[in-house]
């Protein structure tokens, strides 16, 4: 039975990552309503999410380390003046919100005087975080989000028994979604599904422990199709004379 499912899924491929574009776009609209204008998509792949974010945000930047995939992303957003794709790693990304690559950057702090505001109102990672060192990546991502902005993650985690219900549901629904999204049989996956992949190393429990330590207040949930979601809203500075509700806690 599993072999038959695998053959069917291979003939009717669909992107589990693209399935979350509407959810990420909803997060972007919340940012936009609060006055946010800029978005960064880390590991933008072939650019499908970047194109969707360009419909919501005033400026969108995608970074992609794989040269061939970055070229496909540029083709995806060709003609969208508000979208730009940079080839490079997250470690190389400058912290000033310019979207430029800085090979000398150590990913920890921006030493330039007078730099007080991070660079983006929305930072997204879709099926990317497991490619990168977890804690340092979250620390840098936190530093990039402007006050009131959002860090939005759709991630993969190493499966455990705690994931069983979600995995079974995903296994059942996967061919249904394949038949709906790709009704005609194909010989190979579309180009939009050809970005490099990697197996996740950490379990969701391990990811959650690190995330809550690095970005307190993050909301993490299991999700369908072997994914989890995480959202963190960057705190806004308290107004003078107004005590934080956590001040006495």
Q: Where is pLDDT greater, at 70 or 240? A: 70
User: What CATH number has the domain spanning 1-100+119-235?
Assistant: 3.40.50.150
Range in 23-32, 108-117, 159-168 with the lowest mean pLDDT: 108-117
Handedness of CA 233, 236, 242, 244 (dihedral sign): positive
Identify the CA nearest to 97 among candidates 36, 20, 31, 24.
36
Which of 121-125, 129-133, 169-173, 197-201 is predicted least confidently? 169-173
CB 54 within 8 A of CB 43: no
pLDDT digits (tens, 9 = 90+) for 172-192: 776 666 556 666 665 555 555
**DSSP assignment string, 94-125:** -TTSS--B-TT--SS----TT--S-SEEEEEE
- Global pTM reads 0.81
Length of the chain: 249
Tell me the domain boundaries of the chain.
Answer: 1-100+119-235
pLDDT top residue among 244 and 35: 35
pLDDT tens-digit map of 22-41: 999 999 999 999 999 999 99
CA distance 85 to 148: 25
Helix axes 204-214, 134-144, angle to 10 degrees: 40
């Amino acid at each position: 039975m599993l072999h038959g499912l695998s053959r069917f899924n291979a003939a009717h491929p669909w992107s589990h990552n693209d399935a979350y574009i509407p959810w990420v776009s909803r997060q972007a609209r919340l940012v936009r309503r609060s006055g946010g204008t800029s978005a960064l998509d880390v590991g933008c792949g072939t650019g499908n999410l970047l194109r969707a974010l360009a419909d919501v945000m005033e400026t969108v930047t995608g970074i992609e380390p794989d040269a061939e995939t970055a070229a496909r992303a540029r083709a995806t957003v060709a003609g969208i003046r508000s979208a730009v794709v940079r080839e490079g790693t997250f470690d190389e990304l400058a912290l000033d919100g310019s979207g430029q690559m800085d090979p000398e950057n150590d990913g920890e702090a921006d030493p330039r005087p007078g730099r007080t505001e991070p660079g983006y109102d929305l930072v997204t990672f879709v099926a990317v975080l497991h490619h990168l060192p977890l804690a340092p990546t979250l620390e840098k991502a936190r530093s990039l989000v402007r006050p009131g902005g959002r860090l939005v993650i759709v991630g993969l985690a190493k499966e455990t028994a705690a994931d069983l219900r979600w995995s079974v549901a995903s296994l059942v629904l996967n061919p249904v979604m394949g038949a709906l999204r790709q009704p005609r049989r194909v010989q190979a996956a579309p180009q939009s599904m050809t970005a490099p992949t990697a197996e996740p190393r950490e379990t969701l429990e391990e990811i959650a422990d690190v995330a809550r330590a690095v970005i307190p207040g993050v909301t993490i949930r299991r999700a369908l199709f072997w994914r989890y979601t995480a959202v963190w809203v960057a705190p806004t500075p308290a107004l003078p004379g107004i005590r934080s509700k956590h001040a006495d806690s």
